[in-house]
Structure 1
Amino acid sequence: MARLALNKSALSREREQLRNFERFLPSLDLKRRQLIAEREQARAQLARTGQALQTLQRETAETLPMLASGQLELDGLVRVDAVDLGRENRLGTLLPTLRQVRVKTRAYSLLARPHWVDRLAERLAERLELQIRLQVEARRVELLERAVQLITQRVNLFDKVLIPRARNNIRRLQVHLADAERAAVIRAKLAKKSRASADRTGALQ
């Protein structure tokens, strides 16, 4: 850190810096609170999607108990064909969005398969979409967590380091300049007294 120059120019610079820090801090803290609110919304949405996936899996097991027998070959019945992702800017943080999930159902003979396979294919397609949505939403939470952490560090830097340091420097400079001013006044008085004494001594001679 640069050594603090003990003069009026340094005092003026420190005062200007302090004004800038104190002006910038509220907007930075507001952004931090907004990011925290965004993160909480993203967490809540992630929890809802996770719950929806669990509910779907439970309902599938309840309504299609015949799946447990494992007698029917269903691997590859439904697969993801394409995932369309986008991005949105939330308070300076780029977050992924899920636009669309396209799934493809493998062709199968309606006569060779039980009637409930159609319903199963729909459930599997729903599950695939929810699983992908869960991944995207988890990534959103992760990015917002990081953004909150970074802005909190910046707020702390201003609030706990830069502003207190500027205030301390201003106090030091004010004390030093006041002491220097008093010393200058005392020196001026002593010099005046010394001159007056010398003038009197000269007059007596």
Structure 2
Amino acid sequence: MTIKFQYNKTALQSLNKQLKVRLKALPTLKNKEAALRLEVKKAKDKTFELEKELAQKISSNVKSMGLWNEYIPKLLTISEVKTSSKKIAGVSIPILNEIFFNEPKFSLFEQPKWFPQGIEYVKELAMIVIEKEIFNRKMLLLDHARRKTTQKVNLYEKVQIPGYQDAIRKIKRFLEDEENLSKSAQKIVKKRQQKQKETIG
């Protein structure tokens, strides 16, 4: 990124102001990036943990898989998933509050006796799947924010701050050279005036 500037004091003041803003913001951005990185890892670990829990629950029921042909899916449906949101390092993320199920009444005499236990099992699986989805969404949102923050840190650290510093250096050098030339010119004019005075006198 090329920083456009003019070789004058106004431009120098403006660039100094821009540089100060970035130097002040950089530590905050770095802290935000570190906090987001940590939160992404936590959400990722939790998602992985829930995936493992789900796989274990399913594999523990492998022997009774044949019974599930008798199961009636409408005996348990999800009526509502209540979530709220919370801000982590400025990012709004979902939080799972409660899951509501619809459990229509059925006759225990007309249906297999394992149905109540089966319904509880399906409920547990559904809760794990929903929680896993919430944590996965949280991880994606936080990771997106982390990537954007990392880009901004890199832009400030590797492009803008060195760019402003370089531009400030160039303007200062130019103004110093201009001042030195002006002083030299004044000395030459003074010497000429003195010579003229001496020759007249």
- TM-score computed with the length of structure 2 as normaliser: 0.91
Query: 2:146 matched to which residue of 1?
Result: 148
Amino acid at match of 2:67: L
Q: Percent identity among equivalent residues?
A: 25
Please tell me whether the aligned partners of residues 3 and 167 of structure 2 are also in contact (alpha carbons under 8 angstroms).
Answer: no
Shift of 1:104: 2.4
Shift of 1:2: 7.6
Bigger shift: residues 14-23 or 49-58:
14-23
**3-state SS of paired residue (1:96):** strand
Instruction: Supply the distance in 2 between the matched residues of 1:182 and 1:65 (Cα, whole angstroms).
Output: 91
Amino acid at match of 1:162: Q
Instruction: Supply the distance in 2 between the matched residues of 1:93 and 1:85 (Cα, whole angstroms).
Output: 16
Instruction: Supply the distance in 2 between the matched residues of 1:105 and 1:61 (Cα, whole angstroms).
Output: 24
Query: 1:122 matched to which residue of 2?
Result: 120
Of the three residues 78, 81, 84, the one matched with 2:82 is: 84
Shift of 1:81: 2.0
User: Cα–Cα, structure 1 residues 130 and 9, in superposed 2: closer, same or farther, change >3 Å?
Assistant: same
Instruction: Supply the distance in 2 between the matched residues of 1:8 and 1:82 (Cα, whole angstroms).
Output: 64
Instruction: Supply the distance in 1 between the matched residues of 2:71 and 2:55 (Cα, whole angstroms).
Output: 23
**3-state SS of paired residue (1:114):** coil
Shift of 1:73: 4.4
Instruction: Supply the distance in 2 between the matched residues of 1:13 and 1:115 (Cα, whole angstroms).
Output: 79
User: Cα–Cα, structure 1 residues 126 and 73, in superposed 2: closer, same or farther, change >3 Å?
Assistant: closer
**3-state SS of paired residue (1:84):** strand
Give matches, 1:9-88, under 5 Å.
9-62=10-63, 64-67=64-67, 70=69, 72-88=70-86
What's the RMSD between the two structures over aligned residues?
1.9
- TM-score computed with the length of structure 1 as normaliser: 0.89
Runs of 5+ consecutive residues of structure 2 not aligned to the other structure: none
**3-state SS of paired residue (1:39):** helix
User: Cα–Cα, structure 1 residues 18 and 2, in superposed 2: closer, same or farther, change >3 Å?
Assistant: closer
Please tell me whether the aligned partners of residues 6 and 176 of structure 1 are also in contact (alpha carbons under 8 angstroms).
Answer: yes
Please tell me whether the aligned partners of residues 60 and 123 of structure 1 are also in contact (alpha carbons under 8 angstroms).
Answer: no
User: Cα–Cα, structure 1 residues 148 and 139, in superposed 2: closer, same or farther, change >3 Å?
Assistant: same
How many residues of Structure 1 are paired with residues of Structure 2 in the alignment? 200
Give matches, 1:100-179, under 5 Å.
100-179=98-177
Runs of 5+ consecutive residues of structure 1 not aligned to the other structure: none
Shift of 1:51: 1.3
